[in-house]
Structure 1
Amino acid sequence: MADDEQLLREMERLAILASQDILDVARRGIVAERKEDASPVTEADRRAEKTILSGLRRAFPDIACIGEEEASAGVADAATGDAFFLVDPLDGTKEFVCGRPDYTVNIAL
């Protein structure tokens, strides 16, 4: 496994890239859809998650990744092992859709 500094640098870099995806969608206009559980999901959620998961999987191929949107779609790594990344690319989608700034990008190990 990578050292703590390498992990944190990469997680920060990916969170910043994901935030750029989110802000780009916000500038172009937000359209919300509903997932099966009736919670909202947007292009920003999907783009940010793709950015984060692809980066994590490339940088840390031995660590499983679980993303909220992939899990909602029935896609998930089969075995997580002792350590795994858990990603909520846009926590606070309801606030994001309403134009409020109360949302975050979450990446946990």
Structure 2
Amino acid sequence: MNTVKHKEETPDPRPGPGDYYMVIAQYSTWYVSPATAAQLGRALDRRWRPRWLKFVDMSGSRAWVRTDSIECISESTERQRTEDRQFQYLRRKEERTDRRWDDDEY
């Protein structure tokens, strides 16, 4: 009987929820580093775009995406996400105060 020794490996440290960019395509979204987003932006700004863009996202997955399927590249910083959560909280709070008691919408 063969015995296999399992080597204890520590996983690569993944980046925390800091500043990143979202590459949004027709059917998927990838989270990439600012350097990767800049590289993709330069490729999309070229007069003669490549047909495919190849990149690695923040979780280490390799992606090949057709340039015509990319809808946007959007920045997402911790400060932006915090302010967005606060805004959404205040907006929902305002909607609850405007709601009538006989409103069956919720």
- TM-score, normalized by the shorter chain, greater than 0.5: no
Structure exhibiting the larger radius of gyration computed from Cα positions: 2
For Structure 1 versus Structure 2, the TM-score category normalised by the shorter chain is under 0.3
Normalising by structure 2, report the TM-score: 0.24
- Say which structure is richer in strand: 2
Normalising by structure 1, report the TM-score: 0.23
